[in-house]
Structure 1
Amino acid sequence: MEWRKWLDRASYIDAEIVTIHSNLTFSSNIFREIGDYAQDLDIKIGIKNDGRSMLEYIDIIKRIDHPYIGATLDLGHCGFFQEILIVKELSKRIKILNKIICSLIRDLGSKLFLLHVYNIDTARWIDHRSLPNEAIDFHRVIKTLSDIGYNGFYIIELEEIAWREKAVESGRFLSNLLSIYT
């Protein structure tokens, strides 16, 4: 199977975690088979949220129930869950987005293996923006992560024209928050 080849390659470079996109057509048994293979290689698998439904995402992680299968939570993609997009009023959408992100973090707990962090431009609802001053309340998010004892990686993903400046800005902002809450 194709996924074995990718896990073998990840093992070759001593990767600790591999992120895969959630695929609801995969059965829990296939994910468990992937988890068993990954466990033999001592690599965790993080299933990344890709929009759709928050409830479906939580369900797939819990249904698989494998020690080497957990979540790669993409904070910006949370803004594209069905539960968020149905809310038309921007201030309510932002409030619900932050509530859902923190709820997901608490629900996932030790199954949260990796984070993809960036923000959403509130004017255009476009993701992969610099961390400070947009839709996601990173003070609240980092505090919630601290509360559950998260000690994994934070991967900053940006698609900004001024990418160097925005990467530095985001990195400094994140480092500052981590120094406050951890």
Structure 2
Amino acid sequence: MVDLAFSTNAYARHSLSDAIYHIADHGYAGVELLGDEPHAYFPEFSDAARTELRTALDETELAVSNINANTATGYYDDAPPSSFFEPSVIRADADAREWRIDYTKRAIDLADAVDAPAVCLATGRPLPGTPPEKAREYLHESLHDILDYAEPMGVDVGIEFEPELLIENTDETLALIDDLDRDGLGVNLDLGHAAVYGEDVTESIRRSAGAITGVHLEDIVGGRRGKHYHRIPGEGDLDFRAIFDALDDTGYDGFATLELYTHPDDPDRAAREAYVELAAYV
């Protein structure tokens, strides 16, 4: 049976603990923690903030579905509003790459502390001067280092693919998992990303069976080859009945996390309407 969770990244104008209390009010069983500003940017995430987080989780009894370590906008002094994947684990600059590896390890520490099963990680884009084949070498090296740290803790690392990144679809993600042959590596399956890339999302689920560390949900207008803009379920063209049937068919029994960072002006509406739309399927 799949449970519903909601990511704090929709609550970018709230503190982390406030976001957790709001999410609990809407009936979710779990919460995904944003491992970035304004919530848990690890170089500045103090012991007091960790205590406050633990208190909020204890009081709401929410489970943590995932630590979302895809972005690190806190790295920048003046980051623009769009999400950054830099510095990524495929950067040619060794110091920058090592910074991101260490950042991901701090996400794993938090996952271990709050009993989250996994962290998710996006690969980033190959930058000028770094051809894809070289970027893949950096990716493999980085992931082995990260997994050496994560596996003894029992924390999985889910690659989240996205169009235009080095790893941008189901085929490439599953090939990466096969190539590395590590027990702790899987896929954080964002079904909106699969739809935008042009995949059959239910086929993506079925092909990923046994490797799914977590699921991200949002609706997409246009479905296959639609625009990459996260909408509240029911506002786009994805067939959520078919999605949940496919998850059930594969035996997946983790969390499906709503990722609606596109609604910072009214995250409560997004959380409430998404829950109402999807509750019948779980």
| TM-score category of the 2 structures, normalised to the smaller one | 0.7 to 0.9
Deviation of 1:115 after TM superposition, in Å, equals 0.6
Matched residues in 1 for 2:222 and 2:107: separation? Answer: 36
Q: Secondary structure at the match of 2:158?
A: strand
Give the partner amino acid of 1:111: A
Aligned to 1:46: 158
Residues 77 and 127, structure 1, Cα contact 8 Å, conserved in 2: no
Aligned to 2:184: 68
Residues 71 and 114, structure 1, Cα contact 8 Å, conserved in 2: yes
Correspondence 1:82-161 to 2 at 5 A: 84=198, 97=199, 99=200, 101-122=201-222, 125-158=227-260, 159-160=262-263, 161=265
The runs of at least 4 aligned residues of structure 1 exceeding 4 Å deviation read none
Change (3 A) 1:9 1:163: closer
Aligned to 1:90: none
How many matched pairs? 162
| Range with bigger deviation, 30-39 or 151-160 | 30-39
Residues 29 and 64, structure 1, Cα contact 8 Å, conserved in 2: no
Residues 46 and 70, structure 1, Cα contact 8 Å, conserved in 2: yes
Matched residues in 2 for 1:145 and 1:41: separation? Answer: 26
RMSD between superposed Cα atoms in Å = 2.3
Q: Calculate percent identity across the aligned residue pairs.
A: 24
Query: TM-score if structure 1 supplies the norm length?
Result: 0.77
Aligned to 1:80: 196
Deviation of 1:37 after TM superposition, in Å, equals 1.7
Q: Which has the larger radius of gyration?
A: 2
Query: TM-score if structure 2 supplies the norm length?
Result: 0.52
| Range with bigger deviation, 150-159 or 57-66 | 57-66
Aligned to 1:5: 106
Residues 209 and 250, structure 2, Cα contact 8 Å, conserved in 1: yes
Matched residues in 2 for 1:33 and 1:162: separation? Answer: 39
Give the partner amino acid of 2:174: I
Q: Secondary structure at the match of 1:66?
A: coil
Change (3 A) 1:126 1:5: closer
Q: Which has the higher helix share?
A: 1
Residues 44 and 68, structure 1, Cα contact 8 Å, conserved in 2: yes
Deviation of 1:38 after TM superposition, in Å, equals 0.8
Matched residues in 1 for 2:270 and 2:160: separation? Answer: 24
Q: Secondary structure at the match of 1:115?
A: strand
Matched residues in 1 for 2:191 and 2:116: separation? Answer: 22
Give the partner amino acid of 2:111: A
Deviation of 1:32 after TM superposition, in Å, equals 3.1
Matched residues in 2 for 1:135 and 1:61: separation? Answer: 30
